[in-house]
Amino acid sequence: MKSNSKVSLLSGKKIATMAEYGYRDLTVLKKSLRVIGYLCVGIVAIMLYLSIFIIFIYSVNSSSSTTSFGHFTLQWYFKITEHRMLSDAIFNTFLVSICATLISTFLGTLVAIGLHYSSKKFRKHTMLLNNIPLLNADIVTGISLMLIFSLLLKLFPYVFGFPTILVAHIYFTLPYVILNVLPKLSDIDPNLMDAALDLGIKPSKALFKVIFPAIRSGILSGMLMAFTMSFDDFVISYFTTGNGFDNLSIWIYGSIGRKDLTPAVYAFNSIVIFGAMLILIMANIISIRNAKRKKEYENKK
């Protein structure tokens, strides 16, 4: 804002302008920054979704070439089950991640409850070690587990495969469950447990009747995270599998190396994305509706 100080008509004295008080007009700068901001969000959105869009195009492309588009088709979606290797890999992926998620959700919840009631020193020590699987590089985790499992080879020559990959997945998904459940436990009213015990319930039963319902949301979000991590894992699975037990990532890595990736795998990937989108949108609608209902209930009170 360019303006020199004016002279007052009444008193003849100089009046300081806004600019002299240190005010600067930033409207133009603000507007341009806002445009840059939205541009950035747009770029980020493209970055996140470009490859998924390309994968979707491949999945409806009649030609199996990655450079030319024939015509629109849904044939690859029906060929997923026909391709033996692919359907085996998909089955293995689901087998490993569902088993690992269920086991680590159950065990992780129990461990979190145990940690909640443990001494502060013990809890701190365990939580420090709990960060190792979380923050360690995948390649180091994979190699470490492979080395440990190799020690078992003399006793069980066929241990590599489903058992090792399952243990590895439980190993790196447990910390997510624990980290999601632990904060919910400290939100519980401690008297709740005491009341349940006073009323004559067994502690083991109180666990299922009192604590589990109270930490349900933490368990669910931990479970979702564990499944996401397990489902998409490549590096740790790559190092800990064996005896021809391939999950989807390992199979894709091999196929990329051999340059014979079938478009059916793009179709499967698109199904997963659409499924996840549907589930997440539904969960979103449900949570909004619950929040509204809660508000109405509180208003009535």
Partner 1 sequence: MNKRFRKMAIPYLIWLYLLALVPTFFMVVLIFLDMEGLDTDNIRFTFDNFLQLKEVSTLIALLNSFKYAFISTVICIILGYISAYVLYKSHIRNKFLVLTILILPMWSNLLLRTQALANIMEPHNIITDLLGIKVNENMSLAGSGIAVVIGLVFTYLPFMILPIYTALEKVEPMLEEASLDLGANEFQTFFHVTLPLSFKGVVTGSVMVFLPCMSGFAIPEILGKGNIVMIGNIIEQFFKNMNYNIGSLLAIVILILILVSIAIVNKFDREGETIR
Q: Is 203 left (phi over 0), alpha (psi -120 to 50) or beta?
A: alpha
* 55 forms part of the interface with partner 1 (CB under 8 A): yes
**CA-based nearest residue to 93, from 248, 225, 209:** 248
In the region spanning residues 124 to 183, those forming contacts with partner 1, defined by CB under 8 A, are 125-126, 129-140, 143-148, 150-151, 153, 167, 171, 174, 179
Two tokens at 165?
A: 């990959």
- As measured in angstroms, the least distance from the Cβ of 135 to partner 1 is 6
Q: Which of residues 265-284 bind partner 1 (CB under 8 A)?
A: 265-266, 269, 272-273, 276-277, 280-281, 283-284
Q: Is the dihedral of CA 266, 267, 272, 278 positive or negative?
A: positive
Whole-number minimum distance, CB 273 to partner 1, in Å?
A: 5
The site for partner 1, by CB under 8 A, has a size of 95
Question: DSSP class of residue 61?
Answer: B
- Residues whose CB is less than 8 angstroms from the CB of residue 232 and which lie 6 or more positions away in sequence, other chains included: 249
CB of 259 to partner 1, least distance (A): 10
Work out whether 5 is an interface residue with partner 1 (CB under 8 A). Answer: no
CA distance 237 to 239: 5
SS3 of 121, please? helix
User: Which residue of 3, 11, 68, 186 would you call a contact of partner 1, by CB under 8 A?
Assistant: 68
Q: Are 83 and 264 in contact (CB under 8 A)?
A: yes
* Shortest Cβ 11–partner 1 spacing (Å): 27
Least CB distance from residue 151 to partner 1, whole Å?
8
The single residue among 54, 98, 152, 192 that binds partner 1, judged by CB under 8 A, is 54
Decide whether 42 or 81 has the Cβ nearer to partner 1: 42
Residue with Cβ nearer partner 1 (159 or 174): 174
Which residues on neighbouring strands pair with residue 61, listed in sequence order? 72
